[in-house]
Homo-oligomer: A and B are copies of this chain.
């Protein structure tokens, strides 16, 4: 049992995972808890894709890296430009070699898709932490354009990927990085 205050101190972005599989039932339980997040007008637009197959994880990472590189090449001012060199490193896996990635996705037309999926993602990351697991929201893993691959993932055409979350047992839990003091603009 952990207080919420202790739990949020423990929730860190994890980028080094043990080589240890996570039982599917645990992933499903974390997803079930994620669905308790609030959503605008209770629309619950979130959907989930669980990927644990190492080959598929590599293909998703490679697809994303290729698309990011193309985006940087076509627009050198892209905010992705700082990632250019690492995207070329063959053995670099955007998911930090996590044994599992859960994609939180939803229909592009949903009115508050990004916010609602972010709320579910927040629950997901905390639920995983409460089970001794580590997570990292890997925005670099969301650049999946290839239609064949999208279909293999089970991603409907009109769906958008909002949050690819790497999941695994952490090798270590880093300290809380420095946080700015809360920026309270005014108390009225």
Across the interface, do A111 and B28 meet the contact criterion of CB distance under 8 Å? Answer: no
User: CB of A38 within 8 A of chain B?
Assistant: yes
Measured between alpha carbons, how far is A108 from B41 in the docked complex, in Å? 24
Number of interface residues of A (CB under 8 A): 66
Report if A184-B122 is in contact (Cβ < 8 Å); known contacts: A1-B3, A36-B9: no
Q: Is the CB of B28 within 8 A of A127?
A: no
Whether B185 and A155, one on each chain, are in contact in the complex, defined by CB atoms closer than 8 angstroms, is: yes
**Chain A interface residues (CB < 8 Å from chain B):** 1-5, 7-9, 11, 13, 24, 28, 31-38, 40, 42, 44, 46-53, 56, 79, 105, 111-112, 114-115, 118-119, 121-123, 125-127, 130, 137, 139, 152-156, 162, 176-177, 179-180, 182-188
